[in-house]
Amino acid sequence: MASTPDLQLLLADDDTAIRELLARGFRHEFRLLIACDGTEAIEALRQSRPDAILVDEMMPGATGTEVLRAARELMPEVPRLLMTASQDPTAAMRAVNHGEIHRFYTKPLKVLEVRRAIRELVERARAEQVLRAELLALRESQAATTAATTTVGLLCEGPMGDAIERAALRRSFLVRRTTRIETFESIIGAGGVDVVVIDAAVGAATLAEVAQLARRVDVGTSLILVEQQQDHLATCAQAFQLGAVDCLVAPLPDELLLSVRLERAAGRPRERAELRRVTWELVSTNRELALANRRVEEGQVKLLGGLVRALEARDPYTAGHTDRVAEISVRCAEAFGLSTARREVVRIGALLHDIGKIGIRDEVLYKPGKLTPEEFEVIKTHTTIGARILDDIESLACVVPIVRGHHERPDGRGYPDGLDLSALPLEVRIVSGADVLDAITSTRPYRQASGIDEAFTILGTLAGGQLDAEVVAALQGLHAAGRLAGLLQHGP
């Protein structure tokens, strides 16, 4: 028995036919909460909390955008998707601009694509929620410890120094103050200083020297420069260039504001560390999501490959055909020096090249004798059926040309599109060559397999007509080098 899907999807559309169609497409993957108009959808949101929301824009009661606006208020983290009629994207664009939706689709919907997008959005929303909770916990623990542990190193004379000291004490910060640069260096050297407040005119030091002094504590320490001359903005600008986080210029702000600025400066290094941590976690979460996606894609290839093998296993004459075609194709791709990525496309394309046979009637597919012209027309459709099956799977789009085109011929007399050499990618020509070679060396109900040497003679006669001459030459080269040994000649 199938297990109950773990995610709940709110699906709203006022068109009964579309609603039922979508429900059929989504119900295996999601528990569905169905609404027939906008009012029902909003009511459903008040009653329960789905994992994702997919609504039509044009509905009586409330538009899709209005429903999603309500959803954003009630449950901001839940992914919101909008469907619109393709003639009018205005509503969707407006919704995108107002941050009301995560995705929008024009009808008719590609159900597979939308299903995957929903899964991704839900996973991302969950990962973000975990991160947010962690951040909150971290902030709370910091707030509890900041006051007790913050130390301000203060090198500043006169009333401005006094005012800054009072402001620091107001926040219960520890203050270590001096007016002599030598003493200050030893204060810093002792460690534990979170904020360094230095008078820009202290001793005969330049601003750059002062900044260096502050950074000696550690790179994360915040530096506040004090400029005792009135409105000396040039010093401020220079201080910021040197990495100061704040600059206090006479006349000073009142004590309360001053204490807030000290506190903010003290929080800076922690914020940076926190930011680094969060960034790192986001990067690793993204990597995990990418890995998960890849696993899903590999799973799809395995599943489809398994289907083709199951189909072949029912017929002793074709058993093992696709595995051999895949192996021969990959070796041929290597001989052409194709990149790893292109070799992978060849391998998957070869594994799935006959997937469309799933759609062919058994009595034609497994007919023991020669096919009639009508039956051959039926067999030919396995190319277009296969392409249609894979068209719905985004990650397999790159192998569709192989599946559709593996019976095309360089002389333009192949099917289904009658393409010629100039329109056939090398990947397609390689799989065609491997397919034909395996067919000639396999026994079929209506003829015996050819011997290997005879097979290569036949292959040679097909070069430039049914098969690409370069591919035939590459296959002959592989055979001569003994690299196809053990792969050819298979009877029932």
Binding-site ranges for Fe ion (CB under 5 A): 354, 435
Contacts 24+ apart (CB under 8 A), 237-245: 238/207, 239/200, 239/207, 239/211, 242/207, 242/208, 242/211, 243/211, 243/215, 244/211
Cis link prior to 425 (omega < 30° from 0)? no
* Residue (33 or 387) nearer to Fe ion, CB: 387
CB environment 381-390: b (16+ within 10 A), e (fewer): bbbbbbbebb
Shortest separation between residue 353's beta carbon and Fe ion, angstroms: 6
> Nearest CA to 158 among 252, 262, 261?
252
Shortest separation between residue 133's beta carbon and Fe ion, angstroms: 53
* Residue (109 or 365) nearer to Fe ion, CB: 365
Shortest separation between residue 406's beta carbon and Fe ion, angstroms: 6
Shortest separation between residue 423's beta carbon and Fe ion, angstroms: 18
Contacts of 247 (CB under 8 A, 6+ apart): 224, 225, 226, 227, 235, 236, 239, 240
* Residue (354 or 468) nearer to Fe ion, CB: 354
CB 459 within 8 A of CB 440: yes
- Sequence length of the chain is 492
Report CA 183 to chain centroid distance, whole Å.
55
Shortest separation between residue 15's beta carbon and Fe ion, angstroms: 40
CB 198 within 8 A of CB 156: yes
* Residue (280 or 446) nearer to Fe ion, CB: 446
Q: Residue 484 corresponds to which tokens in the numbers above?
A: 């196809």
* Residue (63 or 383) nearer to Fe ion, CB: 383
* Residue (114 or 472) nearer to Fe ion, CB: 472
Shortest separation between residue 437's beta carbon and Fe ion, angstroms: 11
Q: What is the dihedral of CA 251, 257, 258, 264, to 10 degrees?
A: -140
* Residue (246 or 354) nearer to Fe ion, CB: 354
Shortest separation between residue 372's beta carbon and Fe ion, angstroms: 18
